[in-house]
Amino acid sequence: MDEPNLLEALRDAVGDRHVVTGVDRDPYRTDEWQRVGALPVAVALPRTTEEVAAVVTACSEAGAAVVTQGGHTGLSGGAQVTGDVASVLVSLRRMNTIEELDPTDHTVRVEAGVTIEAIQEAAAEAGRLFAPDWGARGSATIGGAVSTNAGGINVLHYGTMRDHVLGLEVVLADGRVWNGLRSLRKDSTGYRLADLFIGAEGTLGIVTRAVLRLLPAVHDERSAMVALRALDGVLPLLDRCREAAGTVTAFELIPAAGLDLVVERIGRQRPMTSDADWYVLVRIATPDGLDAGVALGELLREAAEEGLIIDAVVAASAEQTHNLWALRDDI
């Protein structure tokens, strides 16, 4: 590989300021586990799809591998360079524009570097819901979420990222751009090629833009933490929640060891004094006219009477709700 020519081609593609070499590459090498990956030839920070295509073309012609990085919040090492082949790390953090949000069509078109939290906030301002959610929402980007088919705490009711993608734009391995930015829900035009790239971890191409599905905003939700009497009570409790309390939007099993660690290491407050080996964080949403707190409280009282649970705490405010789910995020 002719490294000087490759670096020149990268600078032609994205500009001198956006090709990172030397010690400035180090922050891009360390992941959430503080593991340090191999040193890339350079880090390229494109701003547009055309620039991504130019970078990939240059790497293809030079015989260099390409590793794509979004928010770099993954724990599997998939966004790090390995040492077995010369590689260019492509960071999409500059591609961070929400291009169009259509509340009537319940869609939003975004660039790959937009964070999950930014999409959630934009949707909420428009009276809509972008349902995928997890602890790294403030730094995880939609490109990585699509490429890993991310799930998160709302997957029980809303599904994985695949269920929220209507269309994609992707830069292929030879630098060609595949444009599948469709927002049509009833699309029976043959193969749904976007599905090939969802969950492919970037092995088939680099996701650069996406059209995402939005949902109506949820107006009445309530959360609770529950101490299970035994682990074999978790599925009966889930079944009871589904039957009696409206829509179960999240249901997370938490081991006592995880709760103990966030209390000890991070300083979170225990939401209850009762001890158990297993806990559940549950969130329900009820139709208009029904009080989610009343419905949740009633079903938990019945679960306690049946011996499924030891204790439960129902959040009575937005702050209490935040504190409950912060436990899950910190774990």
Q: What's the pLDDT at 245?
A: 63
**Residue 287 has what pLDDT?**
62
Give Cα separations from 263 to 226, 228, 257 (angstroms): 17, 19, 10
Q: Judge whether 46 and 92 are in contact, CB under 8 Å.
A: yes
Q: Locate 138 and state its tokens.
A: 């403030």
At residue 77, the pLDDT reads 78
Q: Could you tell me if 167 and 210 are in contact, meaning their C-beta atoms sit under 8 angstroms apart?
A: yes
DSSP secondary structure of 22-82 = GGGGGGGTB-TT--B-PPPSEEE--SSHHHHHHHHHHHHHHT-EEEEESS---SSSTTS--
Mind listing the pLDDT tens digit of every residue in the chain (331 residues)?
789 999 999 999 999 999 999 999 988 888 777 778 889 999 999 999 999 999 999 999 999 999 999 888 877 778 888 888 999 999 999 999 999 999 999 999 999 999 999 999 999 999 999 999 998 999 999 999 999 999 899 998 999 999 999 999 999 999 999 999 988 888 888 889 999 999 999 999 999 999 999 998 887 888 999 999 999 999 999 998 888 766 899 999 999 999 999 999 999 999 999 999 999 999 998 766 567 888 888 889 999 999 999 999 999 999 999 999 999 999 9
Composition of the chain by helix, strand, coil, percent to 5: 35, 25, 40
pTM, 2 dp: 0.88
- Nearest in space to 281 (alpha carbons), one of 258, 302, 253, 255: 253
